[in-house]
Structure 1
Amino acid sequence: MSLLTRPLFRARQGVVLIQRGIKKKRRIPVTLIEDVPMVGSAGTVAHVSKAYMRHKLFPKRLAEYVLSYSGPLDRNKIEREEQAEEIKASETSEDTQQRVHQLALRNQETIGRIVDMEPLVFERNVVTADSGENQGAQAIYGSLSKADVVRALADMHGISLDKEALVMDDKIKSVGEYTCVVKLAYAGQASLKVKVVPTADK
């Protein structure tokens, strides 16, 4: 190699090195949703740069990413996962059936106790009438609500009920005997007698 050609060779070698340092533009496969000029028609798979997909095609809903193929499916693994899901589902259903059975037994016992129960007696102060018209129902101060009856069942008989399980026509606002209904799931219903008496008469 002569001295005249050596600089030229070095220059060419430098150009080659610079070109080797440039990153190659990687293209990714995308599925076109709509026709894109110079790229492809709708429904086809085209290879575009990541930046073009990220900044133009995907935000405008012109294309969507193609999921990479992960190789052949492991049928044994799929079957094992399906069997595990079936076992889990059967165990869950068995647990549910057992809980329902226990709830039914508990509710049936509660209904039986309510059927044999004496009337719940509540003592309330009576509103005194100014006139002599006290032949009708005597009004009481305040009223008797579902919460009062449920609380009395828990305090006097140890029976825990939700207010939704007790059916009353309305709040009780006068002295007398009333009938409420207790409805429990898987056990039917039972009548519950409620008696409101004046404070002095009890």
Structure 2
Amino acid sequence: MKVIFIADVPNVARAGQTREVADGYARNFLFPRKLAVLANSQAAAAVEAHLKKLVKQRAIEEAEMATLAKQISGTEITLKAKVGENDKLYGSVTGADIAESLSKSISREIDKRKVDLAEPIRQVGVYDVTIKFTHDITAIVKVTVMSDAEGAEVPVKAVKAEAPPEEKPEKAEKKEKKPKKEKPPKEPQEEKPAQEEIPAAVAKPAEEKAEKPAKEKKVKAEKAEKEEKLAKEEKPAAEKKEKKPKSKAKKSEDKAEEKQE
């Protein structure tokens, strides 16, 4: 879908430019936020009129910002805070604190978002802080951070406050990756001959044959045990039978002796 941008969209397009974008991106993001309109003759005329007003408005605002930047450039402000050991603050001085103090100093409102401070100040010192109105219009103010105790000395050493890193627009073309050095090919290792696998069909009968002698031995051992038990049981019975006839023979002999007497 071709659209005309009526406002700057970072990394996509600037106001007045025509671009091809995805249908969903246009319908769900650009159109509801009034960042772009559909590219046709009517829209082009409306956008042209809107851009003329926008250019005039921007020119006025930039002129005001440039005047303000000249006015505040070199301004010195002092902020007091509780200080501990090694000149470290209890807490910190933020961009909002600097904007508030600067606004009171020049009797004009300064947006805290214009204070270009990477991180809050946490130590006593004199700092050069950038006030960024636009990409091209900036001013530097001196911020002195000192102890709120009576008779505290004003720090002399100047420290440049670091600004947050700027967001770089995405490049359309990615950098070509450096070709990686090709590693020398490894020498092919001699493959060891794989052991021949015995088919399951052949292995199974062999296992069964190995198991049979063991089973036969077990059966024979059990049979021998049973025979021994039976032999032991039969022996006392035979002895009893033998004893009975002897006792009868003795009785008959005794009777015969008595008759003879």
TM-score, normalised relative to structure 2: 0.38
Question: Which protein has greater RCO, CA pairs closer than 8 Å, 6+ apart?
Answer: 1
The structure where helix makes up a greater share of residues is 2
TM-score by length of 1: 0.48
* Higher Cα Rg, which structure: 2
Give 1 or 2: higher strand fraction.
1
